[in-house]
Amino acid sequence: MDNRLKDEVTERLVEAILLLEDKEECYDFFEDICTIKEIKSMAQRLEVARMLKQGATYDQIAEKTGASTATISRVKRYLNYGADGYQLILERMAEKDE
């Protein structure tokens, strides 16, 4: 984990997220804490990561998600060289879908 990210306030946020019990609580919390644009941006990046893992091309991803090539490149970089957060959640989501 990037040490610039971890501090007392961010730790409290992470702990708060872990207390959410269902989808409706997640929607309510994120609606209050984030703007709609921020939520949509996070959702878009997760979809970009999912599509990259499935082997989609940049053009296919851009067409489906509306993401810029810069966003797609950034997500790809974190998929390959990041903290494995995308990898972890995509694997868990795939297991849940099975």
Tens digit of pLDDT for each residue in 4-26?
889 999 999 999 999 999 999 99
Smallest CA-to-CA distance from 45 within 88, 96, 80, 86 is with 86
- Whole-angstrom Cα Rg for the chain: 15
Contact 48, 61 (CB under 8 A): yes
Rounded Cα distance between 20 and 26, Å, is 6
This prediction has a pTM of 0.90
Domains detected in the chain: 1-33 (no CATH), 35-97 (1.10.1270.10)
Q: Is the pLDDT assigned to residue 39 strictly greater than 80? A: yes
Contact 61, 67 (CB under 8 A): yes
Q: What are the pLDDT digits (tens) for 55-86?
A: 999 999 999 999 999 999 999 999 999 999 99
Q: What are the pLDDT digits (tens) for 86-97?
A: 999 999 999 988
| DSSP conformation class of 23 | H
